[in-house]
Amino acid sequence: MTTMISLCCCCKLLLQNKVLSRKNKELTRNIDQKRLLLSIIAHDLRSPVYQLERMWQQALFYTQQKHYDKLIDTLHNGITMSNSTYNLLNNLLNWVMLQSNQLLYKKESLHLNSIIDQVVHNFQIKAKTKQINISKNIPKNIYIDGDLHTYKIIFQNFIDNAIKYSFHNGIISLTASYINTMEYCKFTIRDYGEGIAPHIIHQLLHTNERTQESSSKKNSMGIGFQLCKELIQKNGATLAIESKKQNGTIITLTIPVSKIN
């Protein structure tokens, strides 16, 4: 009888330990998420808002002084900065919704070429500003399996980064092809811009840390990349990065193909 009571007590303690361990892990994850969110707000969001304020002050000064050439340049920079800030806020919202299980997810058959056409169209003005040519070679018979909204977020973030890190008069290539058994397709985004250092690639793929190669705010990668990593995993896809400093970057997504199209 005593032995049975002891066994019951041991089992109860083990169960309690498992529950406590799970709760500790959840608490640690929540703390890490809050730290990342605060880091993004403190570094990535505060800076562009401050720069926008300075730009509008400059614009007002150039208007008063009738320096219209400088005014036009300042307004163009302000539009670019506003778009980047809007994209950051959008990523923050989607990331918070994803963490709280409020981001809707509906798996369906998606026409890859049509999605990329829509996303590229939204970046035409931004690419034209840097005189970047976006070329596309995607077979029209490729249908992928996943959620439309989350794939748009993924493609928008990676194409936006490709434009951001490309040099003026650069080229961005978007290609897709089936892999072996045609259960997956390979989608690549290639630019010929600044490139990413090996240790930064390791950080991006294997940690949840905010990365920054230099003092330039443009070279920081925060919530957008972390959001994409989680959405890629949620869609059953995988991500690979190849890059060389000053020679560009290749982002490769291996995506499940839809059986119904």
pLDDT for 217: 45
Residues 180-235: tens digit of each pLDDT: 778 999 999 999 999 999 998 888 888 766 565 544 445 445 678 888 999 999 99
CATH 3.40.50.1370 fits 107-256, yes or no: no
pLDDT for 233: 93
pLDDT for 172: 97
pLDDT for 186: 96
Cα distance between the two ends of the chain: 65
pLDDT for 26: 64
pLDDT for 137: 95
Burial of 146 (0-12, 13-18, 19+ CB in 10 A): buried
Q: Where are the domains of the chain?
A: 21-99, 107-256
Q: Which residues of the chain have pLDDT under 70?
A: 1-13, 16-17, 19, 23, 25-44, 208-222, 261
Contact 145, 109 (CB under 8 A): yes
